[in-house]
Amino acid sequence: MGLTVVGVNHRTAPIELRERFYVPAADVPAAMERLLLAPDVEECAVLSTCNRTECYVVAAEVGHGERAATVTLAERAGLTPEAAAGHLYVRRNREAALHLFRVAAGLDSMVVGEPQIQGQVEQAYRASRDARPDGVGLVLHRLFQSALAAGGRVRAETAIGEGAASVPAAAVQLVLKVFGTLEGRRAMVIGAGEMGEETLRSLLDRGIDEAVVASRTLARAEEAVARLAHPAVRAVPYLAVADVLRSVDVVLTSTSAPHPIVTADALRASRGTEGRSMVIVDIALPRDVEAGVGDLPGIFLYNIDDLQRVVHATVQAREAEGRAAEVLLGEELDGFWGWLLAREAVPLIRGLREEAERIRRETMEVALEGITDLSPEERERILGASRLVVQRILHAPTVGLRKLAGGAAGAEQLEVARRLFEMNGRGRPARADEEEGTGMGRGEDDGE
């Protein structure tokens, strides 16, 4: 059995090319059909996110599904297999399993420890299983479930997901340092671009009571609100910003204005003599908020440099936690790989027993053929003794094979055992295809 993953990610291709490899859920059935048509491919699954597209394949032998996965991905991107190969990576057997474990734990993400990837892995598994229930078999089912469990353990036992590793998340983290909680707070986000929308999502995730979004064009703010589809968010006209400043606790700005849009004079006029605290986080470059705003009483002002320091510190902390996570993943991987190799040992053990039984049965038939004065009880006693001899002889090899399968070099040692016992990967005598029905074969020469 061979496990292989072929894929492309943020390290091997720019976003313009990753978009071409991307496989939406609606196209997963066709991609799996293409993979399952390849000779010897027994199982497959497709994982596709904004940062990666990967094909997981289980085949009769390692590497047999590699070409099929490469061609499938190349066709998605409109490239030749040779051109696509320059952007693809290939992992085989234990390394393929470890790769998925690291993906599910967030260790292979653009931002180490990002929480969304675990859900994306689970969705990919379910999409592949639903698309072709016969395509996701026991091996890939166990692989994905083990990877998800390993990712959950990493998040539970390390701090790899803590802290803010994106600018919007860092902005909200700075707000929380001042207020402790967003419950009962109102926020205004100025700027309805991608950064502003992500900031709104972070605020909602942290439980903000109400948020308003303002943009130079009301239509753009309304579009952002529609995408969020959350009752706590509403759009306001750009001219209403000064009025909204009177009643909000948090302001986050991310416009492309060439000059400050929040000045000290304007804020002083809107707030009057109130001593109420306000946190303003200016994500824009050039800055949206005049530097003098930070001198006003009760105002906590942060800019992009403050955020970058938070992000940098978080990334460094996550990288340190990543080393601890790798140790945990190694433990989880050993469990999965031991299960897989023990499963691989079953056909060999079964084939060994069946071959020994065949030899015993044929040998006893020849030995007892000329003995006519045995009673049925005596005959059965002799046959029972021969079965017991075979069982005792095979006991130690059977135990040994199971131990070999669970070892670090289990795959290689099982292959040596197959050659030693002249068995193929399906647990049949290697010569069976040539000598099917020919009796004992070379066993007749044992007494040389």
Report the catalytic residues: 50
- Measure Cα distances from 31 to 25, 39, 50, 75, 263 in Å: 10, 15, 17, 10, 55
Residue with tokens 């040692």: 413
As a whole number of angstroms, the distance between CA 229 and CA 210 comes to: 13
- Measure Cα distances from 158 to 13, 44, 100, 122, 321 in Å: 30, 31, 19, 21, 6
Q: Look at phi and psi of residue 297 and say left if phi exceeds 0, alpha if psi is from -120 to 50, else beta.
A: beta
- Measure Cα distances from 366 to 122, 147, 254, 323 in Å: 58, 54, 90, 64
Residue type, 153: R
As a whole number of angstroms, the distance between CA 429 and CA 439 comes to: 13
Task: Could you list the beta-strand ranges (E) of 237-374.
Answer: 250-253, 278-282, 299-302
Q: Other C-beta atoms within 10 Å of 292: how many?
A: 15
Q: Do 65 and 4 contact (CB within 8 A), yes or no?
A: yes
Lookup: tokens for 349 = 């053990």
> How far, in whole angstroms, is CA 381 from its chain's centroid?
58
Peptide bond into 286 cis (omega under 30): yes
Element (H, E) at 52: strand 52-59
As a whole number of angstroms, the distance between CA 282 and CA 270 comes to: 18
Measure CA of the first residue to CA of the last residue in the chain; give whole Å: 36
As a whole number of angstroms, the distance between CA 288 and CA 259 comes to: 7
Residue type, 375: S
As a whole number of angstroms, the distance between CA 138 and CA 275 comes to: 64
